[in-house]
């Protein structure tokens, strides 16, 4: 029997709208009246006549009239065209398609919604809710911390929605990271996402209503730093359904991790875990069924990314395999006074379990068969009956798995949680088990439905009730919209002084065997006057029925008290503490062993522990800004794209969607105190061209603040861009904003317009600042450039002057040295060369004819050859048109002969000599027709006396030759 079949007493009452006209608030909402039924039916028929346009209503507040029928028809039309998200005022309605829609959650879609100036203008999507919460953190709107509450029945898609939200934040929060922290952010967001497959493998299971049903609740805090970047996360869990380890309902499965091991292990791992192929395990029913979550490799990879080492993984999987081996233990007993014996087939499983858990097999068997009783200071050993042995076996498996799950959660938190000093805000994602109603419901379903009642009450208190009460207190003329309040149901479950939970705890703390009939009698006696509880007098099994907000659920009393006690035999705890498996030893070392005595009572029960953890969660939710997402299950059979009207309409009415639409359409979802409103939007009037009349505002004067807010709103309403938003052109405020006594009430569109104007003013201010800054920088650059030019000019002039001074000094030194050198050479030449007078006085030796011919110069105007003495070299001057000279070196041990052809053109009495072969030898020859002939050399001829010139030698020194006529 499904929850839809059980909801026979869900009310079908009408829904009234609030209405009224107040100052600054124009709203006309009609309240239903019996005389208007005919006109209402006519409006419904007129609205539904055009079915082709029903799928275009992306916000159900636009539906007119708002009734369960019109809302249902719109959702059905949108579901038919594969549109699964629809706005319903402050909430988002998500219909489960029961099939993959890959193009709906891609990275491009995330960036599109994240980068959009107004995401509300896009099609409804879960990313809009995520982006709205993220921008609230960015804008630091109080309360800054956000909570995304994902609710719905089991199988409605809560887990998938939570997974999409986490992936969205891990993407957009890491996309803005700077380069130096990109690797860190990527590592953090990868670890945050990798926590999902591990938590789902160990905490989710395949049930009748959902292939991936969460069997625990979790609240994930995504921690953001001051730049709104993801720096860490933390996970808080609530009430793991550990009884599923040892007891699986019909046609359901155990936790996913066991099936992942069974189907994904290698041969080597199977051998180590003692899980051969084809081996049957009692605690693994329906193992032939394959679901998408049976991915062992994905779970192992996630463990590696989170930092769980291979050895620790090996220990963990051995423990899980040992739990499965315990499930195959069967006990038999012929005499209740004697300890039970194991079946022959079970002895092998006992040894395997002991080996995998690293405990002695004999001690394991003893702890399962014999219990220890305290009688004063003495201990008495008492054998257990068959039922007790089975209970102790189940208890051992449950306590191991529960502690292992807690260790995993702690390890994940240590891996992904950031230091408190590094983050300042958070966005919480709440994913809890959905409302459940099965053929047999026990303590687990009671706690699960209690949690859903608390969340529904949070929604009712925060939105349906608190908002309407605030409208009245702030001066709005408001007609209350009726809604279904589940406070009476919560009083039944947790109220004081007497409630279902208080009676369960009282019975559990008594050291006596529980009796279902006795418990039923107590419930009837203490709670018989409560309208939310009833009993079926014709039922054979003791039970009680609770009228929840989502329908009636019948709970079986048998075994409920024992489950609430959750006793753990101290012998089992001691055995596990002595295990040689380091992981098993570690997780049980600090566990307190509670040994109830005849006078003592158990410290903590399951209900009290769960109730306390849920109260902590509600305190967190009350201090954050909530965002609601209602997941709807279109059909009970999880068939793709199948829409069952009866199933959907009951969920809509149960969670108050229609009432939410009424209040959202007629109310103001955003409420900002005057002080905060002026601090954020006061600059709009300050930088507006319209005269606002706003002067200095005292934060403590409420009247002045109110006047300032009214003036600001009047400035905004006079803006040209605001004209399309106005419903009338009068001086009154429009219906999208109202100024109350202490707060400003806004619709989402009005808030978007204010944010647009604020952004525009900030952009103008930023542009002015940029202009001033650029002008300042430009002037500064010009001044620096001018200063640099002047400095460069001065430096260059100084360098030039210094270089010229060095050049002048060097030139002077060169000139002086050259003059001294020339003087020295001239003096040396004067002493070395023969003077004309010396030639006359000296006896010229007689030369033979050949030498005379070679050592003479034939001038054109002198008939006889003129003898020329060249010392130390002789030159042969030939091929001259007007003069022929030949010089021969004499008087040396080594005679050097240089033959050269010279052209001596005549020019003003001077003869210029240009050598044909050696260009650097003779520079010029000055010949005089009379007198002696002298040869003047650049350097002393003695330097070349011992050299033999050739074609390759570089011979220099002939700079000027002066030929004088020899007498």
Burial class (CB in 10 A: 0-12, 13-18, 19+), 718: middle
Interatomic CA distance for residues 648 and 632, integer angstroms = 7
**What Rg value do the Cα atoms of the chain yield, rounded?**
53
CA quadruple 317, 323, 329, 335: dihedral sign: positive
Bridge partners of 876, per DSSP, are 886, 899
Single out the residue of 442, 451, 450, 449 nearest to residue 561, CA to CA. 442
CA pair distance 450, 445, nearest whole angstrom: 8
How far is it, in rounded angstroms, from Cα 685 to Cα 757? Answer: 10
What is the C-alpha separation between 877 and 855, in angstroms, rounded? 10
Binding-site residues, in ranges, read 152-159
Burial class (CB in 10 A: 0-12, 13-18, 19+), 418: middle
Helix (H/G/I), strand (E/B), else coil: 256? helix
Q: What does the DSSP 8-state code read for residue 723?
A: G
Q: To which residue do tokens 């709670």 refer? A: 527
Q: How far apart are CA 406 and CA 245, in angstroms?
A: 15
179-216 as b/e: b if 16+ CB within 10 A: eeeeeebeebbebbbbbbbbbbbbbbbbbbbbbbbbbb
The neighbouring-strand residues paired with 87 are 59, 92
Detail the residues annotated as belonging to a binding site for ATP.
152-159
User: CA 605 to CA 602: how far, in whole Å?
Assistant: 7
Using the structure block, give the residue that is written with the tokens 């991790």: 257
Distance CA 156, CA 146 (A): 23
Element (H, E) at 493: helix 487-494
Q: Which two tokens stand for residue 811?
A: 């030139």
Residue 249, CA distances (Å) to 206, 243, 246, 847 in order: 11, 10, 10, 147
- CA end-to-end span of the chain, whole Å? 155
Token couple for 476: 């709005």
């Amino acid at each position: 029997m499904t929850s839809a079949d059980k909801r026979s007493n869900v009310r079908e009452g009408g829904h009234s709208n609030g209405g009224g006209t107040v100052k600054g608030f124009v709203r006309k909402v009609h309240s239903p009246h019996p005389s208007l039924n005919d006109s209402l039916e006519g409006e419904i028929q007129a609205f539904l006549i055009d079915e082709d346009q029903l799928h275009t209503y992306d916000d159900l507040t636009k539906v007119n009239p708002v009734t369960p029928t019109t809302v249902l028809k719109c959702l059905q039309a949108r579901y038919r065209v594969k549109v699964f998200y629809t706005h319903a005022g402050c909430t988002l309605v998500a219909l489960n398609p029961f099939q993959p829609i890959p193009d709906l959650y891609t990275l491009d879609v995330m960036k599109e919604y994240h980068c959009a100036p107004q995401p509300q203008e896009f099609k409804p999507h879960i990313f809009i809710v995520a982006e709205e919460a993220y921008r609230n953190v960015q804008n630091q709107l109080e309360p800054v911390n956000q909570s995304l509450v994902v609710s719905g029945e089991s199988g409605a898609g809560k887990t998938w929605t939570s997974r999409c939200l986490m992936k969205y934040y891990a993407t957009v929060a890491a996309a803005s990271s700077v380069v130096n922290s990109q690797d860190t952010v990527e590592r953090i967001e990868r670890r945050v996402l990798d926590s999902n497959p591990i938590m789902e493998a160990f905490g989710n299971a395949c049930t009748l209503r959902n292939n991936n049903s969460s069997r625990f609740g979790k609240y994930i805090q995504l921690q953001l730093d001051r730049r709104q970047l993801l720096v860490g996360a933390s996970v808080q869990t609530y009430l793991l359904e550990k009884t599923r380890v040892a007891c699986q309902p019909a046609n359901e499965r155990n936790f996913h991790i066991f099936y992942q091991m069974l189907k994904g292990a290698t041969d080597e791992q199977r051998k180590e875990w003692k899980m051969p192929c084809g081996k049957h395990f009692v605690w693994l029913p329906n193992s032939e069924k394959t679901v998408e979550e049976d991915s062992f490799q994905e779970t192992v990879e996630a463990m590696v990314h989170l930092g769980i080492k291979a050895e620790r993984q090996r220990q963990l999987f051995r423990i899980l395999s040992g739990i499965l081996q315990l499930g195959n233990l069967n006990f038999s007993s012929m005499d209740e006074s004697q300890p039970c014996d194991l079946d022959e087939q079970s002895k092998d499983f006992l040894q395997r379990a002991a080996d995998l858990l690293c405990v002695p097999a004999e001690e394991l068997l003893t702890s399962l068969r014999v219990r220890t009783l305290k009688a004063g200071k003495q201990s008495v050993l008492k054998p257990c009956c068959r039922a007790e042995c089975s209970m102790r076996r189940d208890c051992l498996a449950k306590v191991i798995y529960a502690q292992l799950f807690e260790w995993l959660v702690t390890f994940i938190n240590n891996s992904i949680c950031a230091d408190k000093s590094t983050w300042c805000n958070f966005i919480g994602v709440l994913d809890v088990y959905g409302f459940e109603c099965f053929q047999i419901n026990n303590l687990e379903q009671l706690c699960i439905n209690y949690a859903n009642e608390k969340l529904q009450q949070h929604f009712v208190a925060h939105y349906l009730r608190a908002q309407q009460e605030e409208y009245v207190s702030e001066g709005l003329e408001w007609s209350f919209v009726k809604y279904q309040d589940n406070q009476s149901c919560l009083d039944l479950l947790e109220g004081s002084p007497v409630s279902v939970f208080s009676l369960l705890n009282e019975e559990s703390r008594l050291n006596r065997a529980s009796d279902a009939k006795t418990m039923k009698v107590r419930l009837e006696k203490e709670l018989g006057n409560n309208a939310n509880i009833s009993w079926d007098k014709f039922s054979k099994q003791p039970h009680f029925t609770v009228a929840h907000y989502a329908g009636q659920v019948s709970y079986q009393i048998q075994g409920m008290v024992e489950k609430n006690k959750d006793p753990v035999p101290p012998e089992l705890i001691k055995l596990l503490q002595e295990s040689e498996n380091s992981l098993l030893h570690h997780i049980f070392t600090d566990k307190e062993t509670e040994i109830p005595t005849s006078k003592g009572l158990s410290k903590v029960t399951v209900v009290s522990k769960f109730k306390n953890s849920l109260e902590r969660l509600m305190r967190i939710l009350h201090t954050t800004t909530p965002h609601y997402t209602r997941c709807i299950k279109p059909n009970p059979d999880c068939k793709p794209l199948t829409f069952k009207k009866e199933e959907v309409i009951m969920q809509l009415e149960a969670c108050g969607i229609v009432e939410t639409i009424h209040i959202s359409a007629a109310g103001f979802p955003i409420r900002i105190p005057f002080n905060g409103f002026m601090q954020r939007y006061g600059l709009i009037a300050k930088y507006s061209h319209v005269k606002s009349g706003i002067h200095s505002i005292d934060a403590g004067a409420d009247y002045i603040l109110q006047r300032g807010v009214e003036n600001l709103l009047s400035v905004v309403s006079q803006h040209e861009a605001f004209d399309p938003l106005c419903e009338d052109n009068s001086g009154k405020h429009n219906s999208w904003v109202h100024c109350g006594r202490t707060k400003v009430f806004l619709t989402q569109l009005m808030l978007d317009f204010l944010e647009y104007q604020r952004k525009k003013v900030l952009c103008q201010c930023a542009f002015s600042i940029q202009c001033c800054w650029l002008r300042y920088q430009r002037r500064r650059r010009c001044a620096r450039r001018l200063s640099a030019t002047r400095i460069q000019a001065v430096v260059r002039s100084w360098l030039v002057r210094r270089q010229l001074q060095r050049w002048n000094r060097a030139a002077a030194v060169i000139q002086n040295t050259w003059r001294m050198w020339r003087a020295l050479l001239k003096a040396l030449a004067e002493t070395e060369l023969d003077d004309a007078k010396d030639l006359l006085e000296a006896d010229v030796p007689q030369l033979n004819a050949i030498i005379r011919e070679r050592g003479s110069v034939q001038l054109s105007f002198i008939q006889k050859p003129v003898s020329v003495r060249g010392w130390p070299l002789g030159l042969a001057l030939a091929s001259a048109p007007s003069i022929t000279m030949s010089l021969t070196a004499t008087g040396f041990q080594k005679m050097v002969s240089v033959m050269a052809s010279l052209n001596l053109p005549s020019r003003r009495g001077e003869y210029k000599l240009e050598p044909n072969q050696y260009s650097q030898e003779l520079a010029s020859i000055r010949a005089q027709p009379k007198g002696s002939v002298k040869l003047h050399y650049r350097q002393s001829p003695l330097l070349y006396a011992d050299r033999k010139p050739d074609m390759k030698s570089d011979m220099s020194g002939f700079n000027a030759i002066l030929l004088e006529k020899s007498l």
